[in-house]
Structure 1
Amino acid sequence: MPSLRSNDGINLHYETYGSSDAPPLILLHGFTGSGNVFKRNVAALSQSHYIIVPDLRGHGNSDKPKAGYHVARLAVDLRNLIDHFQLQEGTVKAIGTSLGAAILWSYSELFTSNAFSHMIFVDQAPLQNYLDDWGPEFGNRGCNSIEALWNIQRTLENDPTAAHLGTIAACLGYRSHPQPGDPTPGSEEWRDNEAFFLHQAMKGDGWWYGKLMADHTANDWRYSIAHNLGFLSGSKTKVLVVASSRSGCFPASGPLKVVELVNGGTEDATGLARGVTVDWGGHWCYWERPELFNRLVLDFLSRALY
């Protein structure tokens, strides 16, 4: 299996699709996932891009060290990946789903966003926990406090299957916000999707996942996004934010705050960032309706200005 060795000696698995002569597009999965969650997207996206799909450390087929459970460490792993492929500054495009979006925000804070021409953030708010100025209208619906985090950590360690089934129920829109015609409990699609995501999640260690979630939920990226991706920073990286009205993780207004932060406090369509709210899937909309997600991505990436 192809892999690279990180600067701290960890083997990171990756897969590639398409021609290496095409513009590079990195796909970053979320918490407890793996690069396999994009298997419904790579065929279409690789027609025009060189697709690079890593498994985050602690996930999938990458090494499972005891250390490295910080978003910043995952951002350094991304830097190692970019260096490994010798990708040229200003040419890289990236999609960060959930935790993957936070990795891109951390990367921009540590290394600037100069490597990237385009970034796509899928259903991740810049802050999960509730604060005086950030409540349930923006933050995470479930893991939003120390008490909630402790409960999740205990369940990840003592009953990981139950923890991962809870994640699946929140992340698939047809389960968190069912509509007529959606897959129903016991249907083949319901069973197959549950088995697939549970298998990916069980590749990792519950204790380590819990430590990573503690770091993930504690980070407030609002001011970092404004400073490093906002128009006053001089960043030229174009941003698309994909939120979902059927997400069991965030109200759409949370992820969409990133648009305002990048565009300097406005939702001006002429700014570097644009947001869309989809109703055809939840937190994992790219999996539920891949044809619609792929079209949205390719339309954004094909335009010089969105």
Structure 2
Amino acid sequence: MPRPHHTTTFTASDGALLTLTSSLPISSPDPSYIPTSPILTFTGPTATTTAGTRARSASKASVIAEEGPNYSRLILLLHGFSGSSEYFERNFRELGERHWVVAWDMRGHGGSGLRRKKRGKKGVEGEGQYESYEGGYHVARLAVDLKNMLDFLKTSRLGLGVGHAGAGGGCQGQGPKPPLEIVGVGCSIGAAILWTYVELFTDADFSGFVFVDQAPLQDRSMFGEWDETKANKGCYDEKTMLGAQAAWNKASEDRHATHLALLDECLGYRFHPLPTDQVSEEEKKRDEAFFTAISAQCPSGAWLARLIADHTRYDHREACEGITKPVVVMGGKRSGCFSLEGMEEVVKRCRRSGNEKAEVSWYESGHWLFWEEAERFNGEVLEFARRCWSE
């Protein structure tokens, strides 16, 4: 059964046009909205920003609206490298039965592509014309994109009700809106984007974080006893990174072998098959067609190759120490990307700074555990969100 969804676009602060998928309809944002990067703060029951006036109740109880999807509680799904929002095909519907769910296509992926509005000779924006966007292949740029998306979603809520959404969409509410309570679910590079977000903007916008199968540093390092037991299993130094770049630096029609190699790393039954696996040959073929088609949507192999270099070298360990909100780290025992020891470092760093609300959850599958063990994943995310929003 196809997932219920509403697709829309927003413009990042540098002009890139990005796509997101929402479980609830999203109205056009306030026309005065301009993407910005500063942290949104509230000095009392109400506060004013450049995007308009938002009201925040001082009562935590008022944040929890009636049961069912509403515009005050958001589960935000961030996919991995060369993926898209389609990765969450097995998660979107079940999570969306109780909460507002949004998944984006990060720039350079899925429907977002790599385009921005074309500028004329005098800096005048061209009418309906576009040029290729060649920059933005940094995790920090993706974190700013995330900030722009959250500002867009918050602004869109100004014209939406926060109660239960019926068949006609959100109820048109009057009066102040409660704050947007967000649980961020970052898979692979999606986790890295969330760590960078915390480093740049703090964790104030979030109620909790789920980090899925990603260690806080892919490279091996002379600092902090970070060797082959904790780093990425296949891309961990200059030589292996250059090999990965060569594999991705191709046109999409020439990258099929690279896309297949990605499946071999990310699906547990391919990376480390077991006699107990109950995956039919037909299902294996469907999985292969599904994931390779998504990777093929990425328009620029050169852009992906540059992104992977930045991602591989980016050390997020200290950023994890800045997380004050609840955390769960999910990892696959058959992941071809990371060891459990490497992923557990996130929890150790959180606790080092006094955050005792950090825990692990190990799965029997691989890097894409949200796909292979979707039922368990959905249940744990829902339970984690419930805890975040009831404390």
Q: Structure 2-normalised TM-score?
A: 0.72
Report the secondary structure of 1:214's partner residue.
Answer: helix
CA distance in 1, matches of 2:191, 2:181: 18
Are 1:144 and 2:212 matched, yes or no?
no
Deviation sequence 1:239-261 (CA, Å, 0-9, x none): 11001111010111111110010
Matched-pair contact (CA < 8 Å) for 1:244–1:278: yes
**Aligned residue among 58, 65, 76 for 1:26:** 76
Alignment of 1:81 with 2:165, yes or no, is no
1:93 to 183, 189, 194: 183
Residue 156 of structure 1: how far off its partner (Å): 1.2
The structure whose Rg is larger is 2
Give the corresponding residue for 1:294: 378
**Paired letter, 1:50:** W
Alpha-carbon shift at residue 89 of structure 1 (Å): 5.7
1:32 aligned counterpart, secondary structure: coil
Residue of structure 1 aligned with 2:13, choices 2, 7, 18: 7
Match of 2:136 among 51, 56, 68: 68
Q: State the SS of the aligned residue for 1:114.
A: coil
Q: CA deviation at 1:180?
A: 1.4
Which amino acid counterpart does residue 276 of structure 1 have in structure 2?
S
Corresponding position of 1:232: none
Counterpart code for 1:247: S
The aligned runs of 1:270-289 (5 Å cut-off) are 271-279=356-364, 281-289=365-373
- One of 156, 178, 183 as aligned partner of 2:248: 156
Higher helix share: 1
Contact kept in structure 2, 1:16 and 1:52, CA below 8 Å: yes
Amino acid at match of 2:239: E
Aligned letter for 1:14?
A: L
CA distance in 2, matches of 1:211, 1:138: 23
Q: Out of 251, 254, 261, which is 2:342 matched to? A: 254
For 1:258 and 1:111, how far apart are their aligned partners in 2?
Answer: 19
Q: How far apart in 2 are the matches of 1:150 and 1:21?
A: 44
- Matching residue of 1:221: 316
Distance 1:160 1:183 in 2: 29
2:87 corresponds to which residue?
37
Structure 1 Cα separation of the partners of residues 341 and 190 of structure 2: 19
Residue 174 of structure 1 contacts residue 183 of structure 1 at CA under 8 Å; is this kept in 2? no
Q: CA deviation at 1:181?
A: 3.5
After superposition, what is the alpha-carbon deviation per residue over 1:109-165, rounded to whole angstroms, capped at 9, x for unaligned? 111100000110000000001113211111100000111111111121244211111
Residue 348 of structure 2 is aligned to residue 264 of structure 1: no
Give 1:90 deviation, angstroms.
6.7
Change (3 A) 1:245 1:84: same
Residue segments in structure 2 that go unaligned for 5+ positions in a row: 1-6, 25-68, 115-132, 158-177
User: 8 Å contact 2:72–2:181 — kept in the other structure?
Assistant: no
1:265 Cα deviation after fit = 7.2
User: Which of the residues 262, 268, 284 maps onto 1:173?
Assistant: 268
SS for the counterpart of 1:84 is helix
1:89–1:116 Cα contact (<8 Å) kept? no
Deviation sequence 1:229-276 (CA, Å, 0-9, x none): 1xxxxx3x111100111101011111111001001179xxx8121111
Runs of 4+ in 1 over 4 A off after TM superposition: 87-90
Displacement after TM superposition at 1:22 (Å): 4.9
Letter in 2 for 1:52: V
The answer to whether the 8 A contact 2:331-2:369 is kept is no
Percent identical: 38
- Cα distance in 1, alignment partners of residues 86 and 180 from structure 2: 27
| Alignment counterpart, residue 226 of structure 2, candidates 134, 138, 151 | 134
Partner of 1:201: 295
Mark the runs of 5 or more structure 1 residues left unpaired by the alignment: 230-234
| Aligned-partner residue type, residue 21 of structure 2 | E
Specify whether residues 124 and 91 from structure 1 end up closer, same or farther in structure 2 by C-alpha distance, changes over 3 A only: same
Distance 2:268 2:373 in 1: 10
2:194 is aligned with 1:109? no
Q: After superposition, give the CA deviation of every residue in 1:31-74 in whole Å (9 maximum; x if it has no partner).
A: 00000000100111111210011100000000313210000100
Q: SS of 1:303's equivalent?
A: helix
